[in-house]
Amino acid sequence: MSPPNAAWNEFWANNQGPNDQLGCLPAGSLLTDAAQHAWDGFAKGLPKSARVLDLATGDGRVMRWLQATRRDLKLTGVDMADRLPEAPRGTKLKAGVRMEALPFPHARFDAVTSQFGFEYGKTAAVAKEAARVLRTGGALAILTHRKDGPILAHNLRRRKHIRWAIGQKDLPDIAKRSLRLRQSGISVVPKQILQAPEEGARIHGPQSAAWEIAEAIKRSLVLGMHDHPANVARLIDTIAMRAQNELDRITSLEFACENTADEKPLRGASLPPVSKLCRTFPCMCRESSRPLPIFVSTGCASYARSSLTCSS
């Protein structure tokens, strides 16, 4: 497994496109609409010109949504990844920052937010840091993954598909062995490589990660038939590296979902004495009948109870 932030560095480095196409929530999905609605309501309850810190900001999506509702907010995002997409205009971004050691003075912010980020850290330490940088009476709002939610379920399926391609079928190694044979004048794409995309689609579904990886390796060998084997080998290595990094991110997601089952770190973090911690009633995803993410908040309890309520 790669170092904790290496997989995310690679993810953001290769995903520098439009913000609405990145992150855990695809643009236009039910989950995206529910999350945006939640942050819109949260923003409306903040004081004028409030300073807001967004933890594990990633592509700055939460900052962008907050900014769209309240142009007066002073928004700062932090993330452990060293390379991130460009921050929304008018916001500040600090890369390479661990949530457990925030580089800000006490009581610096009026609100701390996090969407699918808080649970990736050491939650007790992150909660204490959030409490430290919040002013008295400040607000904390967190949208987290769920163990029984559709995002984890989707990624666990992808993990099975990826392991089939790079583990069970061993496609990267088979491809590289065939490239070594080219130096002896044997330029043939192995039968296993040629058949793998169809097999992956049949077993795991069309457009699955199994088909995607198998097809990428097949095309690399076929289209690189007249290229230098070393160049093609680098392409195969890149495919395998990205597959392994995705496996690492899925492992970290699974760990994060385990963290959300325990609210003790939040309750014991000496958070500002505003209103007690609230938790939304889980609403269901129409497509999968699984609960959507949990939104928890201190400082805006009446809103938090209904922030993600939707019809099923």
Q: Tell me the pLDDT tens digit for each residue of 54-75.
A: 999 998 999 999 999 999 999 9
Asked if residue 125 has pLDDT above 50, the reply is yes
If residue 61 lies in a helix (H) or strand (E), which one and from where to where? helix 61-69
Task: Report, at the CATH architecture level, how domain 6-147+261-304 is classified.
Answer: 3-Layer(aba) Sandwich (3.40)
Q: What is the 3-state secondary structure (H, E, C) of 172-201?
A: HHHHHHHHHHHCCCCCCCCHHHHHHHHHHH
Q: How confident is the model at residue 221 (pLDDT cuts 50, 70, 90)?
A: very high
The set of residues, in sequence order, having a beta carbon less than 8 Å from that of 55 and lying 6+ positions away, is 78, 99, 112, 113, 114, 117, 118, 121, 126, 130
**Tens digits of residue pLDDT in 262-274:** 666 555 555 544 3
In the chain, residues under CATH classification 3.40.50.150 are: 6-147+261-304
Mean pLDDT of 33-38: 84
Reported confidence tier of residue 31, pLDDT bands at 50, 70, 90: confident
Taking the CA atoms of the chain, what radius of gyration do you get in angstroms? 22
pLDDT for residue 292: 40
Q: Which residues make beta-bridge pairs with 304? A: none
**pLDDT score of 274:** 34
Closest CA relative to residue 25, chosen from 126, 143, 120: 143
CA distance 256 to 189: 41
Give me the pLDDT at residue 34, please.
81
